[in-house]
Amino acid sequence: MNAVVGRGKYAKAAVDASKMLQPAAMHKGCRSSSSIGQASCGSRAGQGDLPTAIWEKVKNHPCYSEQAHHHYARMHVAVAPACNIQCNYCNRKYDCANESRPGVVSEKLTPEQAVKKALAVAATIPQMTVLGIAGPGDPLANPEKTFKTFELVAKAAPDIKLCLSTNGLSLPDYVDVIARSGIDHVTITINMIDPEIGAKIYPWIFFNHRRYTGIDAARILTDRQLQGLQMLSERGILCKVNSVMIPQINDHHLVEVNKAVKSRGAFLHNIMPLISAPEYGTVFGLNGQRGPTAQELKALQDACEGEMNMMRHCRQCRADAVGLLGEDRSAEFTTDEVIKMDVEYDLEIRKAYQDRVEDERAAKAAASKEELGRLAGKTSEISLLVAVATKGSGLINEHFGHAKEFQVYELSTSGTKFVGHRRVDVYCQGGYDEDDRLSTIIRGINDCHAVFVAKIGGSPKSNLIKAGIEPVDQYAHDFIDKSAVAWFRSYLDRVKSGEIQHVKRGDASIRQGAPISAA
């Protein structure tokens, strides 16, 4: 039996490390192909071959399901200020950079303030389905506040899923508490399984009342992370692994990390770009360590994509993020604003709203399936990228000039696959410097063959055409997947008839080491 360490309600279990670290039965994860109607971690349209219990956990979680992120929102509550390790991409003045952009500071809350905020958000945003604790330090370095918050939220708002993100150092000690608390989703940031590489990322950890440095610190950290992952998987808790891609330090190594976490039951792997602008004052930022380019990130994600699903829609949120991924509504829910609100949390209203969302999703999936049926039988080696301006709901519903980002899809005769997003400067800002902004936008999507928009003006349209990117506005306010497949079918027809020639496009030259998300 495990001994119990600490006191109080959230006392942790000390774990016999010798029993750990043997790979769990390989969790098959999910296929990564995203042809409409196929399963893939619930990350596309339907349940497919996912067991119902897992489908229920992922179908409306915006991070665990790529499709869900168009429709459902998450919120974070910043109740966990302390941390027990130091990462070289983190400046401790700010929030935990494992699930947060460096340079962002969240308003810290007590558990009681956090639950009030959760109810206020749930009443205002009925599609908010997940409450996560992701900082501003490490949630498990603040166990009392973290688990008290989850307990209060579970009582007050039982339809909200609970989600936790941790660096993993304390994880094995809290697996039982996590399971007891009804937390179904846990993210562990794992950047290495080789302590020599780890020593370049983590200068120190604080463990068992002692500070460890260098290779010793990294060895303890990797053992504890993998041990915690395996224990959670064995209890049926869905685990996502986040990894920060740091060129020349762990980029190639992350393929090994992917294999190691897959064999221990991780459900999803999210490889995120290092953000290392010098102004954030991190060790990597100050010593000139660069982040990966968009195509370096995609190449690594592609290399890791096998039996295990890769998350490609992460927005590196704030520790107090609120809203759909990619939007930031945290300013509407500051403590001062929440106090003023007359909150009425109504489970029935929320359920009715979410039922309507599910109807919309079903209609979208049916439309996509029908369009894909028309593509069936076409054979072609052509695979290309397109950029889409969207405000959400899986629709092409944003004007080119208002887009803050473009979502990028890969098209082939197998269908559509979401491969990432490109943050850009908004083109329309009152008429000045538009040429400069347009060239930056074009550089950001210059590996795409087309850009789908709800509307576009004459000048950007002609400049895009000159740059070899086809502006497509005939599918305004229609579903993305369906429209992309329809356009791709016509593209293949035009190539076949000789009307156009297919040329491979160059790689996006944008550097994702700059801030790429504001959510």
Quick one: what does residue 98 bind among ligand CLF, ligand SF4, none, with the CB cut-off 5 to 8 Å set by partner type? ligand SF4
Stretch that binds ligand CLF, among 30-38, 128-136, 329-337, 380-388 (CB under 6 A): 128-136
Q: How many residues bind ligand CLF (CB under 6 A)?
A: 18
Residue with tokens 């119990």: 4
- The answer to whether 335 touches 107, Cβ cutoff 8 Å, is yes
Name the CA dihedral angle for 119, 121, 122, 124, rounded to a multiple of 10 degrees. Answer: 120
Among 86, 110, 295, 414, binds ligand SF4 (CB under 6 A): 86
Least gap, CB of 69 to ligand CLF (angstroms): 8
Least gap, CB of 459 to ligand SF4 (angstroms): 43
Quick one: what does residue 90 bind among ligand SF4, ligand CLF, none, with the CB cut-off 5 to 8 Å set by partner type? ligand SF4
- The answer to whether 506 touches 443, Cβ cutoff 8 Å, is no
Considering the rule CB under 6 A, would residue 138 count as an interface residue with ligand SF4?
A: yes
Considering the rule CB under 6 A, would residue 63 count as an interface residue with ligand CLF?
A: yes
Considering the rule CB under 6 A, would residue 57 count as an interface residue with ligand CLF?
A: no
- The answer to whether 470 touches 491, Cβ cutoff 8 Å, is no
Quick one: what does residue 83 bind among ligand CLF, ligand SF4, none, with the CB cut-off 5 to 8 Å set by partner type? ligand SF4
Nearest alpha-carbon partner for 364 in 386, 323, 395, 331: 395
3-class SS of residue 105 = coil
User: What whole-number distance in Å separates Cα of residue 193 and Cα of residue 403?
Assistant: 39
Is residue 286 classed exposed, middle or buried when 0-12, 13-18 and 19+ CB atoms within 10 A define those classes?
middle
Least gap, CB of 125 to ligand CLF (angstroms): 14
User: What whole-number distance in Å separates Cα of residue 237 and Cα of residue 164?
Assistant: 11
Query: Do the strands 448-452 and 128-133 form a parallel or antiparallel pair, or are they unpaired?
Result: unpaired
Q: Which is nearer to ligand SF4, 202 or 491 (CB)?
A: 202
Window 476-515: residues binding ligand SF4 (CB under 6 A): none
Stretch that binds ligand CLF, among 129-137, 210-218, 463-471, 507-515 (CB under 6 A): 129-137
- The answer to whether 297 touches 273, Cβ cutoff 8 Å, is yes
Alpha helices in 264-408 (DSSP H): 283-286, 294-304, 335-340, 347-375
Considering the rule CB under 6 A, would residue 167 count as an interface residue with ligand CLF?
A: no
Quick one: what does residue 130 bind among ligand SF4, ligand CLF, none, with the CB cut-off 5 to 8 Å set by partner type? ligand CLF
Among 317, 322, 386, 480, binds ligand CLF (CB under 6 A): 317
Q: Which is nearer to ligand SF4, 96 or 476 (CB)?
A: 96
Cis peptide before 136 (omega within 30 of 0): yes
Considering the rule CB under 6 A, would residue 390 count as an interface residue with ligand CLF?
A: no
Window 207-246: residues binding ligand CLF (CB under 6 A): 240
CA distances for 444 relative to 77, 96, 351, 437, angstroms: 33, 28, 39, 10
Chain positions contacting ligand CLF, by CB under 6 A: 63, 74, 76, 99, 130, 132, 134, 163, 165, 185, 187, 240, 270, 314-317, 325
Chain positions contacting ligand SF4, by CB under 6 A: 83, 85-87, 90, 96-98, 137-138, 167
